[in-house]
Chain A
Amino acid sequence: MANETHGTDAAGEAVVLHGQTVEHPTELQHVEAGMPQLDFTTYANQIFWLILALAAIYWILSKIALPRIAMILAERRGTISNDIAAAEELKAQAVEAEKAYQKALADAKAESARIVAEAKAEIKAELDAAIATADAEIAAKAAESEKAIAEIRAGAMESVEAVAKDTAAAVVAALGISADQAAIDAAVDTRVKG
């Protein structure tokens, strides 16, 4: 833009950037030309106010703003970490509660299993006892019956012998042979046993 020179214009001095203006900086304020940045007469003014401004900013920042913001950030970090810790604690509590629940459940299951087993054992014992008494009764009944049968059988044998003797005596008599009752009995006995 420095080349847009209209040196001949009345108002054209604004863009004049000639070597001459740089070589004679003291003329700049009178000629009012070229870059205002190269007008050394204003340097002291700018530097003075700049240093003042920087000092003011430094004072504001270091005394008030930065400590305050650092405090806010630290406080926030503290709040966040506290909240996270609280959340973690709650989570641990929830895990604990779940564990307790699981434990209670397992206990209840074990208890019920124990009760079932106990009841089963009781029932079995009762059943066994009943079966045993029943067996004993049955055995007694069987023995009685056997005894009765044996008696009946013995009675029957005796009857058979008596019938056989009587029949033999009758047969002998019918044959006309007189025979002694004792001899007939002996003969029948030998035959029955043989």
Chain B
Amino acid sequence: MADAAQSEGGGLVFHPMDQFKVVPLFGEGEVHWYTITNVTLWMAITVACIAALMVLGARGRSVIPGRAQSIAELAYGFVHKMVEDVAGKDGVKYFPYIMVLFLFIVFSNFLGLLPMAFTTTSHIAVTAVLALAVFISVTVLGFVLHGKHFLGLFWVTAAPLPLRPVLAIIEVISYFVRPVSHSIRLAGNMMAGHAVIKVFAGFAAIAAISPLSVVAITAMYGLEVLVAFIQAYVFTILTCVYLKDALHPGH
């Protein structure tokens, strides 16, 4: 936060994007694929937090749950119900994968809200991998389960015949736009919120505006807490919807 803004000759300088920089943890130099960076650190923290909640939280195996176990059960029930409601009963066997996605995104988002933290989900590289993984596995699954019947997803039999080719083109385009919107929605939301908070923090350097700035940061932070959860929820439920299309391609 300290370097967020500095007055130079009366002008304000903002570094709202500095927080997203990928830097090596040890020493300087180039970022190779194996370099231990702040990405590594925060992903490791994410994994540790998930393990703490889901494994240590449920350690007691008690019939009447404690606090941590309640949250772990709540997360389990929340995603399980979502998969079952949206993708149907036969989607339940893919529940662990969706649980991985949900927990990773929700923990990354919330850990990113800690001051000085690095938000891994604000990077398009990360969300694109997640979205592409969903897109490719759902597409492959659709073809494996239904063969060429999966293409019926694009042939809207409910529409009048002359309209169908037009609709097919639209459906194909929308299908291939899915991973793009899926990934940019998450990364964009996380990046924009964090950057806006930094900009407000930059304005805090001017004494006259600083009270307003602090209020704005507080309000933005509250909104970001909401966004952190909602974006994880949206990403997960869209994954379930895509999974449903693969399992039941008929409209």
Contacts and interface: CB of A to CB of B under 8 A. Distances in A.
B22 interface: yes
Interface of B: 6, 8, 11, 13-18, 20-22, 30-35, 37, 39-40, 43-44, 46-47, 50-51, 54-55, 58, 61-63, 65, 69, 72-73, 76-77, 95-97, 99-100, 103-104, 120, 122-126, 129-130, 187, 191, 195-196, 198-199
Contacts, number: 161
Interface string A88-110: 00000000000000000000000
A38 B187 CA distance: 12
B104 A57 contact: yes
20 contacts: A1-B14, A4-B16, A11-B15, A15-B14, A36-B20, A36-B21, A36-B123, A37-B123, A37-B124, A41-B30, A42-B37, A46-B120, A50-B120, A51-B129, A53-B43, A57-B100, A58-B96, A62-B96, A72-B65, A73-B77
B99 A66 contact: yes
A1 B39 contact: no
A124 interface: no
A69 B34 CA distance: 34
Q: Is the interface of A mostly helix, strand, loop or mixed?
A: helix
Contact of A76 (B30, B35, B40, B63): B63
Nearest to B73: A69
Interface of A: 1, 4, 6, 9-12, 14-15, 29, 32, 34-39, 41-54, 56-58, 60-62, 64-66, 68-73, 75-76, 79
Nearest to A14: B15
B43 A9 contact: no
